Chains A and B, each alone.
Chain A
Amino acid sequence: MAYRQWEIMERAATGPFMEEKEFLNKRITAKMREVIKKYGVKYDPAHPVPADDAMADAVWQAAWEFFRDVGVYNQDTHRIMEFSEEEMREALYCAPSSYTVGVGKDSRVFGHRTVEDPRPPFVIFSPDITYDEADFFQACVAYLKEPLLDAICSPLLEDFQGRAIQSKTPFEIGGSMQHAMHLRSAARLMGVPGVCMIAVGTAETDVAQVAVSQPDWGIRPSDGRLVSSITEMMTNNAMLNKGAHYQMYGSFSGNLTGTIYGAYAGGAEGTAIMQAAYHLMGLLTYGCQFQQNFPFHLKYGSNTGREMLWVVSMYSQAVSRNTHLVQDSNGFANAGPGTDMLFYEAAAHAMTSTVSGANLWEHAPARNKHANHGTPLEARFAAEVGHAVARQGMKRGQADEIVNALLAKYEENIADAPIGQTFQELYDVAKAVPTPEYFDLYKKVKEEVHEMGVEFIY
């Protein structure tokens, strides 16, 4: 379903004109200040997982008004795509609450979750970073081996045919095709040929995304695709191209957005409201089927600190309680693999997200910026925490207590978080399995988190 696609695309050329700086510095910031005050949205540092339904609803009401009055800015045309209250209600009413993604035995239902939903989250496994060229395939294999994986977003490729992949060049197209082919081959060899791939991340441009839309060797309509926004509430023609292509090709489209805490949205309150508003942006601007959320801290590039967990919980609850939209929550940790801190962060993020009504996208370690610093084991741990807290029917109050206990173990170390070790150091790359030492660390932390109250299923 693409909500009134062409009528909306036309607005990119016909909407009201505004200078970009004025849109960001005046329209966005002024409206955000107004709705925070009007709806009384207030960050509560004592409760990273708040059990405050009224506040969650206030965040949604603020997000609704914010989006209705701000719209989406197109950087190429310098015009604002605006949406009426009626259109917003119609699009929301008509949006399905779940989708079957992937093919055959590997297909899964990716759907809306309620706050404190006993149904487990849909889990997308992804390291969100680049790996050395030689290990790309085995890294994909290692992720695809994970039993709780519902969909995969693989590592990115950096080189193609001996040359660094450069956006907007033929090497980007070639590298993106190779990315898709490798991932497809790895999925077949791991016995999950129909698994949903959220791909391909190597394709930054619209042209490269179109190039990989090929059901035989590339991305199928049963797979997921991502289209992003520009910070904040902005798009451009290339992104609109992607959005339109995904709808017409038939893939499941996700709106990839990360509100920046401390930037145009302001603090925790504005970040939560903006992230909730992005669900409306994705639905109305691109006709998205799901929302991929990764709000992050301006200074640290992570979302596992106290204020960020509150943000994650608040917008997830706001969207879950007030819509039937499909959302996932992407963890960005400070610490890198091979550290107990990363496991604590992964647990805190997964638990917060799951009880707040989100699905999971796990997990970007080491602030998402160090090549090879990501392994499937931290993603597995996050997935296991998510499944456990859902199945045991954990309430927000208990999750809040456990998350506070987890934060006590790492929040003082956020500024100087260790970057940890690489995939190659922590895994037997040829077999694509963790080393015994690394597995022991995972088991040790799992036992600690169990003692805190998480009833792991196995």
Chain B
Amino acid sequence: MRAGILLFPGINRERDMVLAVRQSFGTEPRIVWHKETDLTGLDLVIIPGGFSFGDYLRCGAMAAQSPVMRAVRDHAERGGYVLGVCNGFQILTETGLLPGALLRNAGLRFLSMDTMLKVERNDTVFTAKYAKGEVFRAPMAHGDGNYTADEATLDRLEGEGLVAFRYHDENRNGSARAIAGVYSPNLRVLGLMPHPEDLVDPLMGGTDGKPLFDSLAAA
């Protein structure tokens, strides 16, 4: 699997993502500047976390208008894989590649701590190396992770099995139905708020996030 990592001005977790991909894939990901438009040869497009364009408008709203996102949309339409983490998840909802929106955290404060995520299904390219119902640890670090959608959309997501992860210990940011991550209908686009890429090395406190990247590497 050939991976590319998108770089928008203000993205700041691309280095973490490079390390996680390098470790599981055994190859170097391509860094894609947001003004590029050619994603040819990439199987997986990753949008990492950070504060694209400072998040001065709605989080992810500016990045969604960058030239590269048209190419990402085409990539997704062709059935390509897309992973968006944190700001990357916000960019995917702003682009319309995933439903819903991420609002300010319920307590109106930035939240940086480990959270426990429950794997809703393990028959996707992202979660094959986890067990169904497995609970794993992932650091979160965001001010706007409060997942929201209208009731009909939430019902549809649940009904179609498109909820990827739920907060298992505590729903600190106030997300609807404790949703931490969602899939596109074809299960090839995943967005989530916490950072599995920051827990892939025992030295940093654990490897709970590694199976996600191992799953992709094996796909």
Are chains A and B native binding partners rather than an unrelated pairing?
Answer: no
User: A residues engaging B (CB < 8 A)?
Assistant: none
User: B residues engaging A (CB < 8 A)?
Assistant: none
